[in-house]
């Protein structure tokens, strides 16, 4: 790669130097991987595009090319990455204008969304189909996520020591790096993700028997390389067995939160249980459910007020 970036430097080389300088060590690994992916797209789409060739027209053409086989949301993320780099290039005098001004973001129509969560009866059917053996298996993993709302990487990192059987709780303090070949524990998504989750007595009793002879500090469910698709396939089989919509393991987390909201648990409590950094995240994620509950609350309020006289 060039040691000095000039106006005649290739755009993708500038972008790589930019994210290595400003993003490496400043963002989480999963976020950095998205910048790397943008870099590879840029190399493929514009291998000869130099900084001094970039204007509004060429930049719009680049986005349009990317939009030909990507959804608008993906194009928007691609644009945000490039725009951050181009604005710095503009500030540095490497390009003469801001080429991203008044850009139109296009994209393919979104793929029809799959079911995000199950209702109470559907979840009950799935859980009844689980085969809970005497040793840890993926069905035990599904039960844990359904009853706690843990993220996939959080659930993988659970060790026997994380359970407090006396107080019926589970402490979340780390995640498992399942995307790495070597795996290993790593920090939680954010500070709020470190939390203690209360568990119902039946589930805590089940897990107390499951883990009693397991090493205290080792992950319960990790035995070699773990793939998200393996667990999703296991969940899919159970959904198909009982004739309910197929959801992902992340959808099981959504199911957990959704059922708590429908049960009348406050947004604040659900946010803490999920490890969200603030209630805004919870409100945005479950807006459709909150709106439905607000409609029910309005009906209750009107019935109450009408009975005051």
Which class is 120-296 in CATH? Answer: mainly alpha
Q: Which of these, 15, 113, 105, 11, lies nearest to 66 by C-alpha position?
A: 105
Q: pLDDT-based confidence at 298, cuts 50/70/90?
A: confident
Flag the least confident range among 74-78, 84-88, 179-183, 272-276: 179-183
- Look up tokens 């099981």; give the residue: 252
Tokens of 291: 């709106």
Strand partners of residue 186: 175
Q: How many C-beta atoms surround the C-beta of residue 214 within 10 A?
A: 15
Under a CB-based contact definition with an 8 Å cutoff, are residues 12 and 47 in contact? yes
Contacts of residue 254, defined as CB under 8 A and 6 or more positions apart, other chains included, come to 116, 117, 247, 285, 286
Under a CB-based contact definition with an 8 Å cutoff, are residues 165 and 151 in contact? no
pLDDT in tens, 186-228: 999 888 899 999 999 999 999 999 999 999 999 999 999 999 9
In the predicted structure, residue 37 carries a pLDDT above the cut 80 = yes
Q: What is the pLDDT of residue 283?
A: 86
Domain boundaries, the chain: 11-91, 120-296
Q: Which of these, 96, 93, 101, 18, lies nearest to 59 by C-alpha position?
A: 101
Grouping H, G, I as helix, E, B as strand and the rest as coil, residue 186 is strand
Q: How far apart are the first and last CA of the chain?
A: 80
Angle between helices 249-262 and 267-274 (to 10 degrees): 160
Q: What is the pLDDT of residue 189?
A: 85
Average pLDDT over the chain reads: 92
Phi, psi of 50 (to 5 degrees): -100, 165
H helix runs in the chain, sequence order = 11-22, 29-45, 56-67, 72-91, 120-128, 138-148, 152-156, 201-210, 228-242, 249-262, 267-274, 279-285, 287-306
pTM score of the predicted model? 0.66
The mean per-residue pLDDT over the stretch 267-274 comes to: 93
CATH fold for domain 11-91:
DNA polymerase; domain 1 (1.10.150)
Q: What percent of the chain has pLDDT over 90?
A: 78
The mean per-residue pLDDT over the stretch 138-151 comes to: 97
Q: How many C-beta atoms surround the C-beta of residue 62 within 10 A?
A: 22
Under a CB-based contact definition with an 8 Å cutoff, are residues 119 and 251 in contact? no
Q: pLDDT-based confidence at 1, cuts 50/70/90?
A: very low
């Amino acid at each position: 790669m060039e040691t000095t970036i000039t106006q005649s430097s290739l755009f993708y080389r500038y972008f790589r130097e930019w994210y290595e300088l400003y993003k490496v060590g400043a963002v989480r690994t999963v976020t950095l991987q998205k910048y790397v992916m943008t870099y590879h797209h840029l190399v493929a789409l514009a291998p000869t595009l130099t900084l001094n060739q970039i204007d509004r027209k060429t930049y719009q053409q680049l986005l349009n090319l990317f939009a030909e086989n990507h959804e608008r949301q993906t194009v928007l993320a691609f644009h945000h990455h490039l725009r951050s780099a181009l604005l710095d290039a503009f500030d540095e005098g490497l390009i003469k204008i801001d080429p991203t001004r008044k850009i139109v973001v296009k994209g393919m129509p979104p793929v029809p969304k799959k079911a995000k969560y199950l209702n109470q009866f559907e979840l009950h059917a799935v859980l009844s189909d689980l085969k809970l053996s005497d040793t840890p298996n993926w069905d035990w993993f599904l039960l844990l996520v359904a009853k706690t709302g843990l993220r996939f990487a959080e659930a993988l990192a659970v060790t026997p020591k994380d359970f407090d059987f006396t107080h019926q709780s589970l402490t979340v303090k780390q995640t498992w790096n399942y995307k790495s070949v070597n795996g290993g524990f790593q920090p939680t998504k954010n500070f709020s993700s470190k939390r203690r989750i209360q568990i119902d007595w039946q589930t805590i009793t089940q897990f107390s028997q499951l883990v009693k002879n397991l090493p205290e500090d080792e992950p319960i469910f990790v035995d070699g390389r773990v793939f998200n698709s393996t667990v999703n396939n296991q969940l899919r089989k159970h959904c198909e067995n009982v004739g309910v919509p197929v959801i992902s393991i992340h959808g099981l987390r959504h199911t957990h939160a959704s059922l708590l909201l429908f049960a009348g648990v406050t947004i604040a409590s659900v946010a803490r249980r999920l490890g969200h950094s603030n209630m805004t995240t919870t409100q945005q994620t479950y807006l459709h459910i909150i709106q439905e509950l607000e409609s029910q609350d309005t009906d209750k309020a009107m019935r109450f007020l009408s009975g005051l006289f």
